[in-house]
Amino acid sequence: MYTDKILICKECGQEFVFTAGEQEFYAEKGFQNEPSRCKQCRAKRKVQRNEGRMPPRRMYTAICADCGRECTVPFEPREDRPVYCAECFARRRQ
């Protein structure tokens, strides 16, 4: 039903292939327009859009309740809850 198409990237001007599989995916998702940028330019644009969007995750220092080593966690530790380092946490989950 679909055949590969050669398109021209509007960003860099290079040819790229819009594969039959990609066309089928676009149709399943209901997308009306063909891609106008090659994969490399789409990836660069995505990085540029996301820069500065999310601040870096704040990490907190804590002491592991099992082994007593210092570790960092992505949440603020509370006195009433134990905190585990990655190794002890994984061991407890098993």
**Residues 10 and 42 occupy one common structural domain:** yes
Number of domain units in the chain: 2
Statement: the pTM of the whole predicted model exceeds 0.75: no
**Residues 35 and 66 occupy one common structural domain:** no
**Residues 43 and 73 occupy one common structural domain:** no
**Residues 39 and 69 occupy one common structural domain:** no
End-to-end CA distance of the chain: 48
Range of the domain at 66: 60-93
In a domain, 55, yes or no: no
- Give the ranges where 1-94 is alpha helix by DSSP (H): 20-29, 39-50, 86-93
Q: Tell me how far apart the 2 most distant CA atoms of the chain are, in Å.
A: 62
**Residues 40 and 68 occupy one common structural domain:** no
**Residues 41 and 13 occupy one common structural domain:** yes
Q: Render each residue's pLDDT in the chain as its tens digit; 94 residues.
A: 899 999 999 999 999 999 999 999 999 999 999 999 999 999 999 988 887 677 778 999 999 999 999 999 999 999 899 999 999 999 998 8
